């Protein structure tokens, strides 16, 4: 069953602006969609609060606070919020759409990362959080799910839904909101939320990237909570022998249970991270990580949860709830998420035995258990509905159909409709796309539709000979081909403007979308007559009789022809043109008159050089007496007079 198709918002236009195209993810508080901003024509992510929660003022306030907070963070590593609005029961945020995956997806797929890769991810995360801290905000819910890695390699921090002002402290009689696996001890005990809680969470995330696993595990959130309250995060090298000491120190510094020992904000941790990187050699940075550790991945530890603060005290809450490290404690989540935390106390005593509260005095153990279930049953139900029944569509692109079916079965999903489509880039028999897309959060046992590649679509080049050029181009597009380069040549058989042949040739099998070159007839060839020296009227008549058109150049030129006669033509006389081609005529403005130099008395060589430099042709008249002479005795045009440039000057030599 395709759950995306059942979503009432998919295909709708929200707030008269945002066209909802597909559902990306579902949480306990909101659903995220891929949408198009029809006003600005751009793809974005639309985070829509569940209508049932939109009536809760606290939830709406948190939603709006996220929009206002992130809008102030103009940073390349922060997912930007563009807009916030309401339509009917829907309260939404319009956010930057990042095509890619989350760090959680990477860790689930690959396990531990090389130190270089882990630091390459951590540094932009710290840069984003540093910008938030310097702007006066704390994220409060840092975890791999909120680290987006784009297809282009960019790293961005998302989901500032729990953001609070730096100086805000949650009321100690209220609740703590966050993901238990990454909460700092002071958040659990007192609700304090300053930049150091994000530093702590980043230390846990770094440990997870280096080892492929979280630092603590247990049978229930309460068990892991107890471990965090009483145990330090172990050094990563304990799980992955050979990791550099500097990485152990970096994790220990960030996850110190005493807040004052940690770097004071993400900017300070970023500085320490860069110092640690600089101290590592290439072999240490590129050390191959082990396979994912055997601890497994507990999705209940990754979810944002509402934790009653009465449970957060190791001496009061656990006792009143009747819980111990070996006794599971249910944790409810407004985000459909639950997780683990740790305490800031260095030497906390183990929890005392369960005590009976005043209201339960004299009642049996069953009454106590029922009371606890009444208190926490709703939250536990929310966790089960939003976590236990959901999974994510695994990445299946380029997998064979059999491999895709196996991967879906492993993820607890069924195979839906199997469609086929041609693809120029995806190998025949492998997956082109899935519906829903990879990474989409859907219910277990739902179905995923597969589109399998049939390879490139092949078509045959149609017979276009004898078609006009415009018709031939239309026929190519109709058959899934592209009109290519057009070459023109003379043809005695095919009329001008009609196709003579194609390349590739007719009925050749080619890939759909290929370009087909066309050879088009110029018609029968025409010999271009010589009309230079003729007046314009006679030249027009002669060219028209040959089937050619005439165009006159705008500017006449000096030439040896009289003014008003054709000085030159293009194409040149004797060349071949097609019937209907145009011949350009350039008219003469007459010869250019140039003053003739006086060369009488000069030697023949000197006279020749001077006259030719002035643009004249030189001829010699030696007679019988000047056969061996070398002196100019006269010239046909006297020096100082004007003569047409290019005309001949005759020299008398004696």
Q: Which positions are annotated as active-site residues?
A: 141
- Quote the CA–CA distance of 537 and 445 in Å, as a whole number: 89
Closest C-alpha to 212, from 302, 282, 294: 294
- Quote the CA–CA distance of 227 and 474 in Å, as a whole number: 73
Cis peptide before 504 (omega within 30 of 0): yes
Residues in the chain: 654
261: left (phi over 0), alpha (psi -120 to 50) or beta: alpha
From residue 207, alpha-carbon distances to 210, 251, 584 in Å are 5, 6, 80
Residue with the two structure tokens 């152990």: 248
Closest C-alpha to 355, from 388, 392, 393, 320: 320
Residue 52's Cβ-count burial label (10 Å; 0-12, 13-18, 19+) is exposed
Cβ–Cβ under 8 Å, residues 258 and 192: no
- Secondary element (H or E) of residue 57: helix 57-71
Long-range contacts of 230-236 (CB under 8 A, 24+ apart): 230/314, 230/343, 230/345, 230/348, 230/350, 231/342, 232/257, 233/203, 233/204, 233/207, 233/342, 236/206, 236/207, 236/210, 236/211
Closest C-alpha to 163, from 232, 252, 93: 93
- Quote the CA–CA distance of 447 and 61 in Å, as a whole number: 36
């Amino acid at each position: 069953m395709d759950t995306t198709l059942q979503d009432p918002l998919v295909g709708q236009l929200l707030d008269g602006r945002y066209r909802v195209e597909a559902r990306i993810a579902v949480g306990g508080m909101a659903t995220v969609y891929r949408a198009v901003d029809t006003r600005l024509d751009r793809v974005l992510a639309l985070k829509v609060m569940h209508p049932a929660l939109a009536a809760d003022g606290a939830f709406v306030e948190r939603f709006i606070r996220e929009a206002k907070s992130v809008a102030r963070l103009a940073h390349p590593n922060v997912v930007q919020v563009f807009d916030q609005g309401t339509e009917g029961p829907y309260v939404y945020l319009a956010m930057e759409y990042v095509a890619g995956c989350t760090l959680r997806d990477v860790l689930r797929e690959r396990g531990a990362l090389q130190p270089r890769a882990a630091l390459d991810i951590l540094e932009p995360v710290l840069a984003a959080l540093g910008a938030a801290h310097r702007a006066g905000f704390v994220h409060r819910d840092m975890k791999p799910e909120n680290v987006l890695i784009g297809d282009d390699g960019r790293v961005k921090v998302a989901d500032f839904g729990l953001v609070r002002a730096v100086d805000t402290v949650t009321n100690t009689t209220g609740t703590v909101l966050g993901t238990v696996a990454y909460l700092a001890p002071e958040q659990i005990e007192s609700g304090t939320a300053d930049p150091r809680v994000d530093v702590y969470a980043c230390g846990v995330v770094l440990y997870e990237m280096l080892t492929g696993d979280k630092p603590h595990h247990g049978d229930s959130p309460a068990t892991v909570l107890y471990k965090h309250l009483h145990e330090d995060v172990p050094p990563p090298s304990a799980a992955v022998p050979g990791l550099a000491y500097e990485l152990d120190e970096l994790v220990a510094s960030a996850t110190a249970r005493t807040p004052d020992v940690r770097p004071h904000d993400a900017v300070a941790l970023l500085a320490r991270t860069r110092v640690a990187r600089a101290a590592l050699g290439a072999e240490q940075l590129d050390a191959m990580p082990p396979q994912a550790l055997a601890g497994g991945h507990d999705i209940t530890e990754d979810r944002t949860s509402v934790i009653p603060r009465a449970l957060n005290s190791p001496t009061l809450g656990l006792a009143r709830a009747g819980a111990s490290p070996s006794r599971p404690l249910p944790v409810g989540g407004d985000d459909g998420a639950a997780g683990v935390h740790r305490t800031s106390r260095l030497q906390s005593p183990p929890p005392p035995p369960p005590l009976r509260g005043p209201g339960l005095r004299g009642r049996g153990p069953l009454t106590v258990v029922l009371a606890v279930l009444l208190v926490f049953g709703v939250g536990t139900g929310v966790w089960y509905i939003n976590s236990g029944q959901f999974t994510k569509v695994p990445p299946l692109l380029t997998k064979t159909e059999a491999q895709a079916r196996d991967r879906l079965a492993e993820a607890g999903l069924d195979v839906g409709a199997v469609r086929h489509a041609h693809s120029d880039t995806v190998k025949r028999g492998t997956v082109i796309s899935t519906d829903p897309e990879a990474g989409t959060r859907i219910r277990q046992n739902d179905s995923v539709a597969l589109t399998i590649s049939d390879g490139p679509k092949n078509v045959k080049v149609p017979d276009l000979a004898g078609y006009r050029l415009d018709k031939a181009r239309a026929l190519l597009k109709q058959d899934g081909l592209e009109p290519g380069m057009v070459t023109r040549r003379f043809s005695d058989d095919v009329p001008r403007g009609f196709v003579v042949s194609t390349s590739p040739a007719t009925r050749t099998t080619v890939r759909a979308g290929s370009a087909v070159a066309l050879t088009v007839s110029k018609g029968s060839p025409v010999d271009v007559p010589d009309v230079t020296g003729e007046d314009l009227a006679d030249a027009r008549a002669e060219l028209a009789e040959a089937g050619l058109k005439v165009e006159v150049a705008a500017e006449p030129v000096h030439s040896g022809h009289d003014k008003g006669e054709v000085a030159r033509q293009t194409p040149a006389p004797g060349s071949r043109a097609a019937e209907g081609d145009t011949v350009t005529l350039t008219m003469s403005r007459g010869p250019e008159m140039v003053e003739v130099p006086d060369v009488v008395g000069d030697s023949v060589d000197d006279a020749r050089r001077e006259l030719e430099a002035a643009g004249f042709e030189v001829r010699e008249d030696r007679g019988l007496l000047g056969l061996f002479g070398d002196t100019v005795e006269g010239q046909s045009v006297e020096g100082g007079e004007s003569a047409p440039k290019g005309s001949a000057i005759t020299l008398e030599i004696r």
